[in-house]
Every structure is written in C-alpha cells, then in structure tokens.
Amino acid sequence: MNVSGCRFAAALIAVVAVGLGEVHGQKPAGFIDITNGAGVRFRHVNGASSDKYLAETIGSGGLFLDFDNDGWIDIFLVDGGSLADPAVARQARHRLFKNRGDGTFADVTAASGIRHAGYGMGACAGDYDNDGRVDLYVTGVGANTLYRNTGNGSFTDVTRAARVGASAWSTGCAFADLDKDGDLDLFVANYVSADVRHNPYCGNARLNTRFYCHPIVFEPLPSVVYRNDGHGTFSDVSRESGIASLRGNGLGVVIADYDDDSWPDIFVANDSVPNVLFRRTGPWRYEDVALQAGVAVATDGAARAGMGTDAADYDGDGRLDLVVTNLDFEMFSLFRGLGGPLFTYATPESGIGAATLPFVGFGTVFFDFDNDGLLDVAFANGHMLDNPAQFRAGASHAQRKLLFRNIGSRRFSDVTSRAGPGFALEKVGRGLVAGDIDNDGDLDLLVTNNGETADLLRNDGPSGHALVVRLIGTQSNRDGIGARLRLTAGGRTQLREVKAGSSYLGQNDVRQHFGLGDATRAERLEVRWPSGRVDVAQDLAGDAIVTVREGSGVVDRRAFAK
Amino acid sequence: MGIRFARVAVKSVDTRRHLMRAVVTAAILAIPAVASAQRQAFVDAVAELAQATEGVYGDEGPRVGPALDAMSRALDTWDGRLESLEEVARGMPLVPLAIYRRGFEQLAGGELRPAIAELRRAASTDPLVTGSPSEARRVQGLVYWAESKFDKTIEQLEAAIRLNPVDERSRLALSRVLTSAGRDIDAQRVLQDTLRVIPASGRAHWWLATSYERVNRFADARSEFEQAAAHAVAGSAPLLGAVARLASGAADNAGAVDVLRRAVAADPANAEWHRLLAGAYLLEDHPDDALAEFAAALRIDPRDADAHLGVGQIHLNAGRNAEAVDALRRAAELKPNSIEAEYALATALTRVGNGREAARYFEHVQQVQRQRQTDRRRQLLLDIQREEAALRGGSAAR
C-alpha cells in the first residue's frame, strides 16, 4: 500500500472506531504518553542479575506530591539498585521532578537533598510535623528514610532522629492519623526476610533455568506501625498494638475507615498469604478481621498473591470497597463493602474477572477518568518472572495496562483498547498513581516500570465537568488525611476518603477529584475531618480547584487551567 | 470371517516367539468379546472390538477377527440396544485408526450390518491382518523396544514406514517410542508426517496434541485436540475437556464456555462437564447459567459436593444467604475438611448472624491455610535443596 493508501486506511479505521464508540455510547478515552516531552527522564535500575535476587523484580514505586506548595503536583520516583553489583547499585538514584506548570517537569533531585541508599522500593508522603510542607518516607531493602521537607525545595534526612529507620525489607507505606490526635502516624509493610548472602537457587539446575523464587520460600515479616509523638519523633508501637503479632508478605497498603466507625483501619495486601485487615479495637490496639470480613482470601478460601490495593466506594452505596491486584490466572480481587466490617468477593459480578486472568497486576487506582461521576479502575501489569515463557508458554514479562470504565450497576467494562496510546505500552508495570498534573480537571497517571522508564500519561480524553478539593487541616492533620468527603452533584452523592499511601508502593495526589458529568455545580460538599468537625459547603461551581480549610469552609477557588 | 493372522517374514526368534504368544493371547482375549456378543452384551463386544483395533502393541490385533465374528453371528438377535458408542467410550475417547473410522462411525449410528461389512473390508487392508512386509518390521521394532534397544527399535519402525507409508500403526508406534526416549520434537515430526500422508489420522492429531502440550505449545495443542475431537467416533468429551482446559490456560474463558457446552452435549450424563461449564459461566458472570449447570450435575449425582458448593457460592454472591447456608452445609457435610466449602459456609453464617458457628469454621479454615502454607514452603525448600545439590554436582539430595 502506498502512503496515500495508508492514510486512507488510517482515516477509515479512525472513522470506524469513532463510529463504534458512538454506537455504544462510550466516550473514547485518550491517555497520551508525555514522559519524554515533559522531561521525566528516569529509567529504573533493577540490578537484574543471574543470581535472581527477589528484590530485583519487586520494585519500585513512585508518587504524586506537591512538595513546594505551588499548587502543581510534582513527581517522586523511587529507584532500585543492585544487590549483585556495587557498580550497578551506584547508578541508582531516586528522582524528584518539579512540575513547572507548563506541561514540563524539572529534575530537582540534586538540590533536594534526597539521596539514594540501599535498594529502593516504595514511598509515601505526608506532613507529619504539620508545618504545611509535605514530608517523604522512602522504603527499601534494609533501610528506610524519612525526609523532612525544609521548605526551600530541599529535604533533610531525619530518619535517625525520628526513629523510623526500620531495617527490614519494607515495601508499602502509608501515613494516617491512627489515634486522631492531629498528627500523622506511619504504617510500614514489610515483605520477607531474604538474606542476600544465602540467595536460594530456584529453578532447574539441569536445564540451567533459574527463576525468581516464590516469596513463600522466605520467612514472612511483621509490619511496623509508628506512633507520632508530636515532637518530630515516633515510637514503634507494633508490638503493643498487635500489629507485630502477624507475619505476612506485605506489599500494598491502604488505610481507610472500612467499617465506618470513624477510626482508620489498615488493609495490607499480602503476597501469597492471606491479606490482613487490622481493625482498631481500642487505643493502639488492633486485631486482624480480614478472614471474617471476607477480604483475606478469594471465594475458594485460598490466598492470592496480593500486590497493590486501593479503597473507594465504586458502587456509590456509601461504603468503601477494596481492590487488590493478583497474579495471572488468579483474577484481580474486588471486594464490595456490604456495611460494617463485611465484604463480598465481587470480582466475577464486576466484569473485571475474566479480563484480568492473563495479567500479573501491581499498581491499581480507583479514579474517575472520564469525569462521569463514577469511579473507574486502572491496573499496571508486568510479570514477576523475567523469563515467564519458560514457565508458561505465551506469558510475557512486559504487559499492557488495563482500564475498566464503571458502567454503573456495579459493573465495569474493559476500555483499554480505547484508552489511548499510553495504555497500549507494554512494560513491566509496577506502580500506578493518579493525579491532575496539569490542573485541567481530569486525572492523569504515573506508572513505574521495573527496569524501564516510567510513564507519565496525560488524560486527553473528552470529559465532563469536575471539581477538585484540596484540604487544609487545622485541628486535624494538615493535609486532612483520613477526612471523608461527600459531594452531591446532579442528584448523585460521591464518597471520597483522603489517603496518603495506596496502590503499589506509591501514593495518589491527595487532592480529591470528583467528576460531575453534565452538572456544572455541586449542590453540596461535606467534609468530615478526622477531628470530628464537619464542614459543609453548598452550591459550589464546578471546573475548579477549591481549598477547604478545617473550620473555615471553602477558602480558595481556582478555575481549571484549560 | 476369513481374517488371517499376519504371516510376516519373521527373522528374529524373539519376534517369532512374540507372534506365537500373540496368537495364543488372541484366542484367550477373544473369548470375552465372543461371549459378550453371544449374550447380546453388544456394548461390551464393541468395546472389545475397539480395543482390538488399537494394535499399538502387536498382540492385540488378532482380536479384531473373533470380535467381528461374534458380532456377526449375534446379528440375528440384535435388538437395537446399542444406541450409541458413547457408553463404550464415556471416559475414554474412541479415536480409531483411519482405516477403521468409517466402520466405527456406522456402528455409532447403529448401522450394524454395514458396519461389520466395512470393518471386514478395512481389516482386509490392515497390515496387521494382511501380513504386509511392514508388519514384521513393526513387531520386530516393538520387541526391541521391550528390550530397551531404542536405536534398533527406531530403525525397524522407520523401515516399516518405508515399506508401507500408509501403515498408521507403525507411524504411531515410532512417535511413541521417540516420545518415551524424550525426543519430543522428533516425535512431533513423525506425527506431522503422518498427518501429511494420512490426513484422517485422528490418533496422530491426539498424540500430537499431547506432545505439543508437554513442550508448552499450548495453542498448537489446543488446535490438535480440536482435530482429534472431530475425529472421535465416540467419547469426544474428554478431548473437548482438554480443549477447554487449554482455552482457560490461555485466559480464553469465552472459548472454554463454548467448548464445554459441546462436551456437555457429547456426554450429558457426566456431572464433571456440567460442573466445569458452570465454573466457566461463573467466570463470565453468568450465574443463572452456572446455577442451571450445577443443578444438572446434582440431578446426576445428588451427593456431588462441588456442585452443592457452586450452588451455595452463587446464592452467597447474590445475597441469598439462607439458601447459601443450606447448600454450603450440604457441601461441607459431603466433603469434610474442604476449606473452600467451610470458608464459604462461615461467610454465609456470618451474614445470617450466626457468628458463633461461623467462628468455628473460620478457625478451622485458618488452621488448614497455615498447614498448607507450611507444607508448600517445605516442598519448595526441598526443591531448592535438590536443585542446589544438582548445581554442586552432588546427588545426595536427589
């Protein structure tokens, strides 16, 4: 076919595609890979070696945060390292990218004071000292680091002084005000105890085929919870709280009030052992209720390989639901909240079951990509094994991402093929977080990939109206982590809970995004702060970022940058 | 009947001894087939006949004649009770050699007289019966195989094929010998050649499918199983089940549903196909269809614990908690220590407010989970020890 023929064919395909979209009444989405153009230059160093250290395939994550409080969310990417080769390890470097607000990012790592150490895994961000500047916690193999934001674009390593430098293999983390005393505490999931000096050989020696070991080969580790003492220091209260009594291969963490008792509960996605749901039973006392709640295992009573996780009310019934990514041929797990501490395994009824069978899922996020007022869900995928075809024919290391559109009635529709070129990229996906990088009112995505470049995917799909809410706590923690927002627009009420840590080794933009669909205004916005205070705003015009200060209501409104 | 035993040019004493034994064995083995036919147990007689034509190992072939003779003699008392060969081959596909296929199809269609005539005609061209020069080579090769002389076995079988390129039995034997020697690729090549020469060889498709699956060529295996199922005169359900398994493995659940529907149609009295189809329906989020299939399985076997479990889980997912408790209690009773049933039952009991009883089941589920985890870890660690020992060149851990 000549060039003009190609153009004709492309045009024809485009016409047919648009026509199909219209026939089915679905808006085509468009996530565009802008990574290079935006200046987000980062290639994850996984240190992959013939020794097949498990850490090489687990990381790493990344997050959205506004470290300089300029109203434009920035990017932090965790780099891995190498357990086999010090020279490779030296190439690893975490990156902090400042959002210039013009569609590009500047690498400000050098000036930030953030230094790479050990083998990086994940990160979470929260203003633990309530000074109005978001701080950063980075997990890794053997060393975690707390960076205090000093306010001039730089961070200071305060790990030792804050007493939060756990020395295990840490993965997911989350800040939350677990005791509702107004400052953020810290939960850190630990994975397994893998001694690099005695790395087991998993595979077939005769065929000279080595695989990354199954995590169950190693000793599981308990998670760690740090109570913020309020003076820049933390206390490890894992033992007395009951958190340390359970060992698991923890990866994803999401803290939210699942039973609606106004106290945060902690969900940990465990790899190949039952997930845990720590429910508060008293001051700094927790018990695991995951099995009874129906979120520990799938319907067959068997544990899945839990990787990433997120919590949100996807069906609009006012109860939080959970999603957990799993291995291929396990299906990803969707747990629909029934009220109280009970969930039902909703994977088959949701439409994500069969569609997720071929994928090894990691990052996941509930987000309303098309601003229709219904929470959709996306997944970043990539195999654990770098040679999976030797294990299962047809399996691939790099996999495409998945986007499921919420079509109501508790069902999702796989719209990946119409999600734009950003979703067509096949990579070894790990982290996936959402945030509005260009303040235009729709949610963009950041994807981290093992051993590869990260993907910054700008949402260019046509979308309805929206409202983004930024919280400033006064009596509660400064970022309003744990606050519950109920927004009513067009007769529909949507629920959000502010979280600082979710998905896989990452964290979303903490500003809360609400799609309004055709509605141009929200009838009501209610913010229930962790302190118990409730602020209500009526008749809010959409298509703006509004700031709600605890006790003062809406204090700022900025129209979307269109 | 007039079928002669193969008069082959026997050179080896072992081969002669083998053939003599075959003749004697045939006489003994024919007795049940004859007896079956004479007492009008035609299903059994046909089963004997089907086995007789297998002929993978030489001494089975002579059973063709006596079985056909017996059936022929019994024709006068034929009362049409042989409705389908499905009964014969319910658990085992009947994929005859290409030359016998038409005869078996007629048998399956209840056309007994034409079937026997066709089988006689086919037998008259069967190298095993006619004494084709290739047969001596094949038998000689099989004797060598019994003595683990692989090179000589292969040499003889290849010679047999050269002498008679349409000798399906020799080709199949060669592929089996190569497979047993771990030469999967060579075995596949033989089977591919067989299909070029004898396109109607359902057995070549079948064996090629299993060979492809062994070397992880799942898509090709699926295609060959489909072909084999198409050539099955009866008992296609297990072959379709293999197709469904491969479809599921390729995450093609819609394909699995489609092929399991065909398996159910081919063998509707087998609860397993109904259960598998129900499971595939559940993955496709068709709970009503799944419920119907589980119900069909329970009509066949009311004590089918897995079907009760499936029914209970569907009720549970639909919020019909009381119905779920009933079905899951039955499943747990019928299959003690099934944590799948106990977990679902505990969940249902929690939802109907019976927390005390639920706690008992949850506790047991947790115990079993921990034990399984421990066992799995122990097994993985043993595997590691074995491989590390192999890596060091030691054999202590083997």
Instruction: Look at residues A87, A176, A151, A214 and name the one whose alpha carbon lies nearest to residue A501.
Output: A176
pLDDT of residue B132: 76
Cα angle for residues B330, B335, B338 (degrees, 5° grid)? 110
CB of B168 closer than 8 Å to CB of B203: yes
CB of B167 closer than 8 Å to CB of B193: no
Return the residue of B nearest to A350 by Cα: B285
Return the residue of A nearest to B380 by Cα: A217
A283/B contact by beta carbon, under 8 A: no
3-state secondary structure of A165: coil
3-state secondary structure of B222: helix
Residue with tokens 């379709």: B240
Min distance A275 CA to chain B CA atoms (Å): 12
3-state secondary structure of B75: helix
CB of A251 closer than 8 Å to CB of A270: yes
CB of A538 closer than 8 Å to CB of A396: no
pLDDT of residue A276: 97
**pLDDT band per the 50, 70, 90 thresholds, residue B39:** low
Q: Between these two residues, B200 and B53, which has the higher pLDDT value?
A: B200
Q: pLDDT per position in chain A (562 positions), as tens? A: 333 333 333 333 333 333 333 333 444 459 999 999 999 999 999 999 999 999 999 999 999 999 999 999 999 999 999 999 999 999 999 999 999 999 999 999 999 999 998 899 999 999 999 999 999 999 999 889 999 999 999 999 999 999 999 889 999 999 999 999 999 999 999 999 988 888 999 998 887 889 999 999 999 999 999 999 999 999 999 999 999 999 999 999 999 999 999 999 999 999 999 999 999 999 999 999 999 999 999 988 899 999 999 999 999 999 999 999 999 989 999 999 999 889 999 998 899 998 998 999 999 999 999 999 999 999 999 999 988 877 766 788 999 999 999 999 999 999 999 999 999 999 999 999 999 999 999 999 999 999 999 999 999 987 789 999 999 999 999 999 999 999 999 999 999 999 999 999 999 999 999 999 999 999 999 999 999 999 999 999 999 999 999 999 999 999 999 7
Residue with tokens 């870890």: B377
- Are the beta carbons of A349 and B285 separated by less than 8 Å? yes
pLDDT of residue B134: 85
Burial class (CB in 10 A: 0-12, 13-18, 19+), A476: buried
pLDDT of residue A15: 31
Q: How many CB atoms lie within 10 A of CB B299?
A: 13
CB of A422 closer than 8 Å to CB of A457: yes
Mode of pairing for the β-strands spanning A265-270 and A250-256: antiparallel
Which of A217, A274, A353 has the CB atom closest to B283's CB atom? Answer: A353
3-state secondary structure of B282: helix
Burial class (CB in 10 A: 0-12, 13-18, 19+), B126: buried
A207/B contact by beta carbon, under 8 A: no
- Distance, CA of B318 to CA of B312 (rounded, Å): 10
- Distance, CA of A285 to CA of A62 (rounded, Å): 30
Q: pLDDT tens across B328-375, in order?
A: 999 999 998 899 999 999 999 999 999 999 999 999 999 999 999 999
- Distance, CA of A409 to CA of A350 (rounded, Å): 9
CB of A384 closer than 8 Å to CB of A327: yes
Instruction: Look at residues A183, A174, A87 and name the one whose alpha carbon lies nearest to residue A139.
Output: A174
- Distances from the Cα of A176 to the Cα of A229, A257, A370, A481, angstroms: 13, 11, 29, 6
Does B385 have pLDDT greater than 50?
yes
Q: pLDDT tens across B86-140, in order?
A: 455 555 677 888 988 888 787 767 677 787 788 778 877 877 767 678 888 888 8
Mode of pairing for the β-strands spanning A429-435 and A399-400: unpaired
- Distances from the Cα of A158 to the Cα of A93, A122, A129, A501, B208, angstroms: 19, 18, 12, 20, 65
Q: Between these two residues, B116 and B323, which has the higher pLDDT value?
A: B323
| Sign (positive or negative) of CA dihedral A527, A531, A532, A533 | negative
pLDDT of residue B337: 83
Return the residue of B nearest to A351 by Cα: B285
- Are the beta carbons of B219 and A206 separated by less than 8 Å? no
pLDDT of residue B73: 55
Which of A202, A206, A292 has the CB atom closest to B384's CB atom? Answer: A202
Which of B285, B287, B365 has the CB atom closest to A301's CB atom? Answer: B365
Residue with tokens 């993965």: A171
pLDDT of residue A373: 96
pLDDT-above-70 percentage for chain B = 74
Beta-ladder partners of A492: A489
Partners of B340 on chain A (C-beta within 8 Å) are 299-302
Structure tokens at A535: 């602020």
Structure tokens at A50: 């013939």
- Angle, nearest 10°, between helix axes B236-249 and B218-231? 160
CB of A502 closer than 8 Å to CB of A508: yes
- Distance, CA of B228 to CA of B211 (rounded, Å): 13
